[in-house]
Chain A
């Protein structure tokens, strides 16, 4: 079966610091990868995505890195803000597979 895990289930960072959230996946057939953010009481919200033929993609304050060799995905958040506090899920997908990673809770300390 699918195995999608995270190295750190909970991450606490100081406001203004950079955050790095990691995700390991096992399905080598995954060809697109999405990071979602889920705030308390809300549904997941799209943050950024990356296709398997890329190794880096940048958005506003966020960067996703993909290493297909070791099946590893990371989300970097620059200058973390209190509003970034949430659970972050990776989503390695392909044709008909829709599995979320186990999630990392990000706590931003003021």
Chain B
């Protein structure tokens, strides 16, 4: 199984709502990532988890709150978002993080959640 799954595929939420994005992988990967991608732009890194611990936070606003309950799951909790937060949110996983060997750097991406904030 080389798949990263993300739910939901689409999400529309108001600025006062609280919602969560979910990501799951069963490849035994120990690093998981959240990216944000605006239309016609490259993905931008938000968070990196390594061995279920937050390793990188790219100065993301606190209205985005990541959580890694176990090695297979990654959540992104959303609260009080702004319309400019509308984007495609991508989850990825990799074998390791700075674990040495190029194969550990290859990231497997999910299809993303298309988020619209109204």
Interface residues of A (CB under 8 A from B): 32, 34, 41-46, 49, 51, 89, 93, 95-96, 98-103
Contact = CB atoms under 8 A, between A and B. Distances in A.
A20 to B, nearest CB: 19
Query: Could you say which of A41, A51, A93, A98 has the most chain B C-beta atoms within 10 Å of its C-beta?
Result: A98
Contacts of A98: 33, 45, 48, 56
Contacts, number: 49
B49 interface: no
Given A34-B105, A51-B102, A96-B55, 9 more contacts: A42-B112, A43-B90, A43-B111, A44-B90, A46-B107, A89-B42, A98-B33, A102-B42, A103-B41
14 contacts: A34-B106, A43-B4, A43-B109, A46-B107, A51-B102, A93-B105, A96-B55, A96-B98, A98-B33, A98-B56, A100-B42, A100-B44, A103-B41, A103-B42
Contacts of A42: 111-112
Contact of B105 (A41, A44, A49, A89): A49
Interface of B: 4, 33, 40-45, 48, 55-56, 90, 92, 98, 102, 105-112
B106 A46 contact: yes
Contacts of A102: 41-42
Given A32-B102, A95-B98, A98-B33, A46 B45 contact: no
A44 B42 CA distance: 10
A100 B92 CA distance: 14
Contacts of A44: 43, 90, 92, 107, 109
Contacts of A34: 105-106
